Structure 1
């Protein structure tokens, strides 16, 4: 087996916008390829899809992913998320500002972006920052993780 590549199913004709957005905010990222829906005249299932991305292959910070514009049959939900292990508070703040789009979904470092995908934005050493009951309680009260508050709990 060569590798395991996550595939993200976008449902609102926003596959291309999402891939471009993600590549713009993560270092070491690029779009490898994009395939487009065929001409509408080929099949009634493609009405309104001409020049829209059907699939994309891209790299986010060295991780290969695929994306699919599959239509509204499936939606993202919190059962699947991507974790961003950050070096410091500045990095947490950067990704939080770029990815948090649904304030009601924020808790314990989790955010939901403008495309509905869930992310966990946490320090790389999160496990060592939640060793005591006080640290766990502090984390549970947070939306965005504040490293100094966990260290001081």
Structure 2
């Protein structure tokens, strides 16, 4: 197996394997690649590949919790992909604004249409400001509404 130079390492309170199996069910090119048992045979470390990117998950206990200081951003190429991932990841968690959510394990995600950086980075700063204004009013991002804002509709 080819190893990445830097691998995201996620700390869970007893649900590392459950979380990894949930995440790999959502994305192509994803699989649990290893489970290292800890005391009592429960998973201690879980290795998994998520959309081609290697991750490690640790059942470290309740000492540390996820917060919005780190999130995983998903590059979505259609509204259907945004809608599906938004619903699946937010079930049992919480929805926030601007495409952010927390899943049922407390991990923060950004479900982002691929077109958003282009719209926000437009040389036409009025256009970019309209897109930013529209995005700030949204929870789940709506590609057509963002494009309409860019077009001044």
TM bucket, shorter chain? 0.7 to 0.9
- Which residue number corresponds to residue 47 of structure 1? none
* Partner residue of 1:112 out of 95, 99, 102: 102
**Structure ranking higher on relative contact order (CA contacts 8 Å, 6+ apart):** 1
- State the Cα deviation string for residues 122-141 of structure 1 (Å, max 9, x = none): 01121122342211110000
Residue 74 of structure 1 and its aligned partner are, at CA, apart by 0.5
Residue 52 of structure 1 and its aligned partner are, at CA, apart by 1.4
Distance in 1, Cα, partners of 2:73 & 2:129: 23
- State the Cα deviation string for residues 100-124 of structure 1 (Å, max 9, x = none): 1433x41100010000000000011
- Which residue number corresponds to residue 24 of structure 2? 23
The alignment's TM-score, normalised by the length of structure 2, stands at: 0.87
Residue 77 of structure 1 and its aligned partner are, at CA, apart by 0.3
Counting matched residue pairs gives 140
The alignment's TM-score, normalised by the length of structure 1, stands at: 0.87
Residue 2 of structure 1 and its aligned partner are, at CA, apart by 5.0
**Is residue 2:90 matched to residue 1:100?**
yes
Distance in 2, Cα, partners of 1:125 & 1:79: 24
* Partner residue of 2:6 out of 4, 7, 21: 4
- Which residue number corresponds to residue 62 of structure 1? 52
Structure 2 residue ranges without an equivalent (≥5)? 123-127
* Partner residue of 1:51 out of 41, 44, 49: 41
* Partner residue of 1:148 out of 134, 144, 147: 144
Equivalent residues of 2:4, 2:54 under 8 A apart: no
Structure 1 residue ranges without an equivalent (≥5)? 39-49
Judged with a 3 Å threshold, the aligned counterparts in structure 2 of structure 1 residues 84 and 21 are, in CA distance, closer, same or farther, namely: same
